[in-house]
Homo-oligomer: A and B are copies of this chain.
Amino acid sequence: MAQKTGWAIGVDLGGTKIEVARVNTEGRLEQRILIKTDVKGGPSAVMSEIVTAARELRKTAATPPEAIGVAVAGQIDEERGIVRFAPNLGWHEVPLATTLSSVLEVPVILMNDVRAATWGEWLHGAGKDYDDLICVFAGTGIGGGVVSGGQMLTGCTNTAGEIGHMTIDLDGPPCTCRNTGCLEALAGGWAIARTAKAAIKQEPAAGAYLLSLADGELDHVTAKLVGQAMQEGDPLALRLMNDAARALTAGAVSLVNAFNPCRLILGGGVIEGVPELADKIREGVMSSALTTAINRLEIVRAELRHDAGVIGMAAFALRNGAERKRRTAA
């Protein structure tokens, strides 16, 4: 049975690094440990990395954590605490929660990383005190979370929020998901890089500056470099980012009209790299969405950045950890 000790551990388990943090009930991140993910070592190596970090956080605290929340990029079975599929880790059906819980003797909860970040922004970030909000995280991929009527939407099989795979262009390019014209296929980091590479090939003169930023290697062109070139005034990069902004605006209009949020929260690497995107999206939504749907709408940037996942997981664990544990035990 979990004790009320006023803090929890949030873990953000990614394919390159693991963030393990001590977070208090106000959502303040009090200590952070960053580890390189030992993907090659498999689940047992990664779990022992998490256990070591959690024990280190425990050492400096007077009391044990109430619970541990782990955010994972992938498909999660929250009920059973299993990572069903995590492509970046190469994991299939890993019982992460029960294993960590039995070693650390604390309730452990798993969640998809994007939903965890939405919990973070909702409870302690840009969505605080709002009952109706949508987070859009545009990074390499595009994902999101929806809170409506004070409830985090999960859907029929716990996959609600795959807003990167809304079709916004009937004749658009192929996505990685088997569909075409998805928001992500036009404005996700990988898609911006794909379009940039094609443009550089087709218009070598226009693409010269962008290519030089990538040390002359077409394969090294990334969305981040496109953002950088744009901010330095490169016309091709500006055009590419304007296209991405147009796609993101169309996606945002779809979301605003369909869900009618009070706040639309924009985050992720693409937005953080080019903050002007948020202004363009705001302007586009305010001039294109239904007037009845934007009465009280605010479009803002995410606040917790890279810590949204650990703060969200810890906050969620503090809210639900003990309860979930009892249900599992029953």
Which A residues are closer than 8 A to B by beta carbons? 75, 132, 146, 148-149, 151, 153-163, 165-172, 177-179, 181, 186, 246-247, 250-251, 253-255, 257-262, 287-290, 292-293, 295-297
CB distance from A112 to the nearest CB of B (A): 11
Tell me if A293 and B162 are in contact (CB < 8 A). Answer: yes
Tell me if A159 and B288 are in contact (CB < 8 A). Answer: no
Interface centre among A132, A153, A246 (most CB of B within 10 A): A153
Chain B residue at smallest Cβ distance from A157: B295
Interface centre among A259, A261, A287 (most CB of B within 10 A): A259
Q: How far is the CA of A290 from the CA of B177 in the complex (A)?
A: 7
Chain B residue at smallest Cβ distance from A285: B179
Tell me if A167 and B250 are in contact (CB < 8 A). Answer: yes
User: Which residue in B156, B169, B172, B253 is a CB contact (below 8 Å) of A260?
Assistant: B156
What residues of chain B lie closer than 8 Å to A288, measured between beta carbons? 178-179
What residues of chain B lie closer than 8 Å to A297, measured between beta carbons? 156
What residues of chain B lie closer than 8 Å to A132, measured between beta carbons? 155-156
Tell me if A179 and B295 are in contact (CB < 8 A). Answer: no
**A157-B295, A167-B254 known; A290+B149 contact, CB < 8 A:** no
What residues of chain B lie closer than 8 Å to A179, measured between beta carbons? 253, 288-289
Tell me if A149 and B154 are in contact (CB < 8 A). Answer: yes
Interface centre among A166, A253, A254 (most CB of B within 10 A): A254
User: Which residue in B156, B170, B258 is a CB contact (below 8 Å) of A166?
Assistant: B258
Tell me if A162 and B246 are in contact (CB < 8 A). Answer: no
Tell me if B246 and A157 are in contact (CB < 8 A). Answer: no
**A170-B172, A179-B288 known; A155+B261 contact, CB < 8 A:** yes
Tell me if B166 and A166 are in contact (CB < 8 A). Answer: yes
Q: How far is the CA of A290 from the CA of B186 in the complex (A)?
A: 17
User: Which residue in B149, B186, B293 is a CB contact (below 8 Å) of A159?
Assistant: B293
Tell me if A293 and B157 are in contact (CB < 8 A). Answer: yes
Tell me if B181 and A250 are in contact (CB < 8 A). Answer: yes
CB distance from A198 to the nearest CB of B (A): 17
10 A-B pairs in the complex with CB atoms less than 8 angstroms apart: A148-B148, A148-B151, A148-B160, A155-B259, A156-B296, A158-B260, A160-B260, A162-B258, A169-B170, A258-B258
CB distance from A236 to the nearest CB of B (A): 20
